[in-house]
Amino acid sequence: MQADAFNMAYMLTGNFFIIFGCVGGPFYSSVIANLPKISEGGNKTWIFIKDILVKTTVALVLISIALYIFKSTLLQFFINQEANPDYFNLTLINIDILIPLVLICGPIGIVYAVLNCYKKYAEPSFSPAIVNIVSIATVFIMGDSLNGLAMAIGTSLGGIASLLTQFRTLDQIKTTLKNKINEISFDLKEQKQNYHKILMPTLLATGASQLMVFVDGHFCAELEAGSWTALVLSNRLIQMPLGILLTAFLVPTFPRITKLIAEKNFSDVKKVLSKSIGILVLLCIPATLVGLFFSEPLIKLVFEHGAFDARSTQMVSSTFYYLCFSIIPYVLRDCFTRTLYSFGEAKFAFYLTLSSVIIKYGLNYLLVKNFGLNGLAISTTLITIINASIMLVILIKTWRHALNTQSSL
């Protein structure tokens, strides 16, 4: 119950931190799609950065307050309070502890992007490790003394620490910009509009993708105990190689692609993107094969001890197996989507993700009947493949339009 309570609370809070605040999230992507074009603007560039940081923080303070007030009403969609009062109440306490992650998801995504635009890669790269180190240390120190709440406390403290460690480098960038002599000229109002032109559709698209997580949580309520935790763990195992690979390649690649698109150097864009995708797919092939052929012994080695018994291993390994088929489509979808953002096209991502929520619900409804928990993993893989294919078609059309526009000038 403690694990399910934490993971359910994390779905409603920590997923904001992971999805909205991560490298490739809406705040990060919106900054990356705009800041490289005005990075040499001196004090005016810093005003742009400060403005989006302040406004984002204020908005997330209001959202965090709303979540705190309405958490009980929201949670009833996932947990039957009358049937599981202890589970329900423990999840509410976990939500209270994890709410700071909602507040900092925007600022951390923006700061990551700013640092990467100025080729400061070390701090953002170590940031996820800081979250994990603080979380593990907190659990080790506190143990089970607070009814399993140590993980929630450690996760919140880790998230806050990961943001604070970025500020020293951000302050150095601020000083450099304010002291810059040879500034480029740009329209600040226009750049803010361009930023929001990317941000709003990507926020809506990411919010819609979060709805897919809620849909899975809703269907897990009808399955055996531990199903939600099994699905969460298998997803995190999939995200581990994806997070490492995508961060390593996309962080330095997409600021460069944004600059090349601004310069209308489409031949180099194609070279950079093709090379990155080729390397990523090549690296994902062994990761996929390991997951497909060694899923059960891998899960057993990593997790099976204490309350995590043989049945838990079987649940996680089976969902992990089906999710492994989504690794390469996931990488392709992310690369296509980030490139579209660099072209200034974000609305398609929103429409596609919104449609995916409806399709996901239908697939869950059909597949859970026949495959149980595995049906949720199968539907996730199918949605990822569909989205990657559609994004490729949209990117090709956008590419051809950009080439035709250039040739007509």
Model confidence pLDDT, tens digit, residues 259-304: 888 788 888 888 888 888 888 888 889 888 988 898 888 888 877 7
Comparison of pLDDT for 108 and 246, the residue scoring more: 108
Four-CA torsion 5, 11, 13, 14, nearest 10 degrees: 100
Residues 338 and 346 sit within 8 Å (Cβ to Cβ): no
Among all chains, which residue has been given the structure tokens 């199918």? 382
Each residue of 180-234: pLDDT tens digit?
766 677 777 888 888 888 888 877 777 767 778 778 888 887 788 778 888 888 8
- For the segment 50-64, the average pLDDT, to the nearest whole number, is 92
Confidence of residue 378 (pLDDT cuts 50, 70, 90): very high
Question: Lowest-confidence range among 9-18, 231-240, 241-250, 309-318?
Answer: 241-250
pLDDT digits 0-9 by tens, 77-96? 877 778 788 888 888 999 99
- Give the burial class of 14: count Cβ atoms within 10 A of its Cβ; 0-12 exposed, 13-18 middle, 19 or more buried: buried
pLDDT at 192: 85
Give the Cα separation of 207 and 203 in Å (integer). 6
Amino acid at position 68, single letter? Y
Check whether 308 has a pLDDT greater than 80: no
408 band by pLDDT with thresholds 50, 70 and 90: low
Residue tagged 């950009």 (tokens)? 402
Q: Using only the alpha carbons of the chain, give its radius of gyration.
A: 22
CA distance 215 to 55: 30
Are 260 and 269 contacting, i.e. CB atoms less than 8 angstroms apart?
A: yes
The predicted structure's pLDDT at residue 409 = 54
In the predicted model, what is the mean pLDDT of residues 304-312?
A: 75
Tokens of 227: 């199903």
**pTM of the predicted protein model:** 0.72
Would you list the DSSP string of 342-385? HTT--HHHHHHHHHHHHHHHHHHHHHHHHHTHHHHHHHHHHHHH
- Joined tokens for residue 131: 């979250």
**Cα separation of 403 and 147, whole Å?**
60
> How far is the C-alpha of 343 from the C-alpha of 117, rounded, in Å?
17
Question: Encoding tokens for residue 238?
Answer: 């999939």
Helices (H) and strands (E) in the chain, counts: 19, 0
Q: How far apart are CA 100 and CA 156, in angstroms?
A: 6
Q: Which two tokens stand for residue 384?
A: 């990822």
Asked if the model's pLDDT at residue 41 lies above 80, the reply is: no
Does residue 325 register a pLDDT over 80? yes
In this predicted model, which residue has the larger pLDDT, 402 or 361? 361
pLDDT at 16: 76
Q: Residue 136: what residue type?
A: I
**Is residue 250 predicted with pLDDT exceeding 80?**
no
Q: Tell me how far apart the alpha carbons of residues 279 and 291 are, in angstroms, rounded to a whole number.
A: 19
- Highest average pLDDT, of 14-23, 125-134, 155-164, 265-274, comes from 155-164
Q: In this structure, are residues 204 and 29 in contact, taking their beta carbons and an 8 Å threshold?
A: no
Q: How confident is the model at residue 406 (pLDDT cuts 50, 70, 90)?
A: low
C-alpha count within 13 angstroms, C-beta hemisphere, residue 200? 6
Q: Kindly indicate the confidence band of residue 53, based on its pLDDT and cuts at 50, 70 and 90.
A: very high
Higher pLDDT, 218 or 391: 391
The larger pLDDT score, comparing residue 406 to residue 330, is at 330
